[in-house]
Amino acid sequence: MAIIAARVDGRLVHGQVANLWTTKLGATRIMVVDDAASKSDIDKSGLRMATPETVRLSVLDVKTAADHILNHKYDSQKVFIVAKRPETFLALVEAGVPIKELNVGNMSQTDETRSITKSINVVDADVETFKKLDAAGVHLIAQMVPGDPAADFMSLLKKG
């Protein structure tokens, strides 16, 4: 079983992730892959607070996350991977982590970004990263909530 879902979300564990997607997916573990958060006790404490009590949480850097998954540490669990940026997922895929589908959730707006949807804002470098993920065989979708249909993200990216 191991990886049941993967999501790009700049807010990591928050209302939608903790209360909605985790419930819908029946995830038993949220794995936050974030090099900075994995080294910060304050970040980790905040993420733990936001995670439902019935769900386990890992906050790992890319290398440790890939090692744990590839060493079958979570094979009996249902792991929901969340990271802020697409390049984190590209690094996981390049390390050999099998990610079949990636849901692009929240990527917030800055002065440099352009808007793909209301909640997804990208710079040129992100587009290149998404192209590489797509070329690596990762199906990219955009689905805000389970009730919405999953939109094909590469098509949205072309229109944007």
Partner 1 sequence: MSKLVLISHGQLCEELKKSAEMIMGPQDDIATVALLPNEGPEDFQAKFKAAIEGADDVTVLADLKGGTPNNVAARVLAEGGNFDLYAGMNLPMVISYLNGQMLDMKPDLVGDGKAGVAYINDIVKH
Residues 6+ apart with CB under 8 A from 101: 5, 6, 138, 139, 140, 141
Residue 108 binds partner 1 (CB under 8 A): no
Binding mask 39-68 for partner 1 (x = CB under 8 A): --x---xx-xx---x---------------
For 36, other C-beta atoms within 10 Å of its C-beta total 9
- Cα–Cα distances in Å, from 149 out to 37, 53, 157? 32, 29, 17
Q: What is the CA radius of gyration of the chain?
A: 15
Q: Please report how close the Cβ of residue 146 comes to partner 1 at its closest, in angstroms.
A: 7
Residue 144 binds partner 1 (CB under 8 A): yes
Q: Please report how close the Cβ of residue 55 comes to partner 1 at its closest, in angstroms.
A: 13
Instruction: Give the binding site for partner 1 (CB under 8 A).
Output: 15-16, 19-20, 23-24, 41, 45-46, 48-49, 53, 144-148
